[in-house]
Structures are given as structure tokens and as C-alpha cells.
Chains A and B, each alone.
Chain A
Amino acid sequence: MAYQFDFLPVLHNADLLLRGALFTLELTAIGTLLGVSLGIVGAVVRAWQIRPFAAIFGVYVELIRNTPFLVQLFFIFFGLPSLGLQISEWQAAVLAMVINLGAYSTEIIRAGIQAIPRGQLEAAAALAMTRFEAFRHVVLLPALGKVWPALSSQIIIVMLGSAVCSQIATEELSFAANFIQSRNFRAFETYTLTTLIYLVMALLIRQLLNWLGRRYIARNR
């Protein structure tokens, strides 16, 4: 007997999917803001070899980039409580995303900072810019401009990777999908629709980041 596809039972739960998708976007937004901030700090410390933090960030970057996100998430959610640190599912999800993106963006932004000639900072000093102004206009924004496409890709990878957060019961999009298919037994239809939603979110975030880059970052190059 041929399988009859039926998407209706999934569409009946469209509100659950929508709520899940919004939560995924929320997690991604917080994770990106904090993760990229951490990455900027790490990149400066690594690029300018500020001791002893350069070595600490070096170990952090290698540890995170060479272990799976899922294991980092489990370590945070199941491991930390045994040290007496209780955190909720969504806090664990955000923490894991921040730590993960922080490591990748440290390396990405560091490459951008190192691509800026030393003379640029000296020129800024000659123009009587304060150290903060010089850092912001001569180092950070041009560096971000250079690596913006790579950074955007990494943010999208983190958003897609957050699908595994359903495993610690963070109620994001894939959690909603698991819930729906466990009720209507339409697993294939549910996951097809969910996959499409992820695809659309990835494309939208790419557009948004391109726009942000053109509007606020690259024009400073």
C-alpha cells in the first residue's frame, strides 16, 4: 500500500511550530550578541598577545572548536549541576551557544584584526583620536567588515546547530516538531515542514546580516 502523505495534522499545530521558531530566533539573537562580544574580546586579546589571557583564550578556542556542540551542551546541562551550579534548559542552551560562537568568532575576528596594518593605529594617534575612537573606527569596524561573510556563516551554523537543544528539552523549533510528531504520528510530514522552516530562517538571517553589514559595518571599511 502506498503511503498517503497528510500535512493537515501538522498544519493544525502550526502555532506550536511558529512559537518554536520564534524561540529559536530568540536564542540565536541572544547567543549571537553575547557570543560575538566574547569573540571580540578574545580576538583582541589573541591578536595583541595580551598576557596571560592570550594563552587562556587559545586553549578555550581549541577545546571548543574540536568538540561537538551537543557534548558541550550536555556537559553544561548535566555536568555543571553536579558541581552545584543549577541552570535551566534555556539558560544552558544560551550558555552553550555563547561559548561555542565565542570560540569561533574569536578566530574569525582575530584574522580580521591581524589584517589591519600597524601603521593605521599610528595614523589614528597622529590624528589625535582617543584610544577608544581609534579602536572602534580603525581596528574593530574595519576588521569586522573584512570577516563579515565568515562571521555571518558561523552565526547561521550556530542557529542550525541549536536544533539539538531539544535534547535537553529547550522548547525551540525542533522540540516543537518532536512534540507534534509524537502526537499525530506524522513524523515525516512534521520534519519536512520543520526543515523548510529552518531553511527559510537561514536564508532570512543571511539577508538580515548582509543588510546589517552593508548598512553599519562595511561602509566603515
Chain B
Amino acid sequence: MLKKLLISIIVLYFLVLIQGSFLVHFLFWGRVLNLTLILIIFWNLLENPKKYFGLYLAFIGGFFLDIFSNHFIGFNILILLGLAFFMKLIFRRYVEIPFFEKS
């Protein structure tokens, strides 16, 4: 778990840096691609809804986005955590995927 968390911290740190310094040169419909958000959405989409790692990812990703953006520290954390919570809730209550039941 700790190893997984450490790898996530490093990956998310670099993703935010790439987003802020590399991808700003490539706009998609006038916007910069938010890789952190995409990663968190995909992770929470594919993770077993009973597991919590997606929430940790949302917290770490939000923290790094806050550091490299002009918002107060906690702004992106709240948004990403809220999104991850919402996804978990929807998947737990309304979506049943047999694959997750086995794992």
C-alpha cells in the first residue's frame, strides 16, 4: 500500500508539472488538458467501489494542482475528492459490476 502511494505521489507530481509546463503549449478547444482529472476519473471508474485508493489519489492530485495553481490550498483537493466520493457513491448504490464482486 505504502509503495503504491509513493508511486502515485511521484506520478501525480510529474503529471501536474507536465500539465502546467508542457501541455500548456498544446490547447484542445482553447483549454489545457487536465491529465490529473482524467487519471482520477479513470481510476475511480475502474476501481472496485468498495476500495478507497481512488480517494487518496484525488487528495494527492488536488494538493499538487493547488500548489501549482493560484487557488488556496484545498480548492482542487475539495473538487477532486468530491468528484471521487460522488463516483464511489453512484457505483456502490446504483451500478453492479460482477467483476468487482469477485475481486
Do A and B make up one complex?
no
Chain A interface (Cβ < 8 Å from any Cβ of B): none
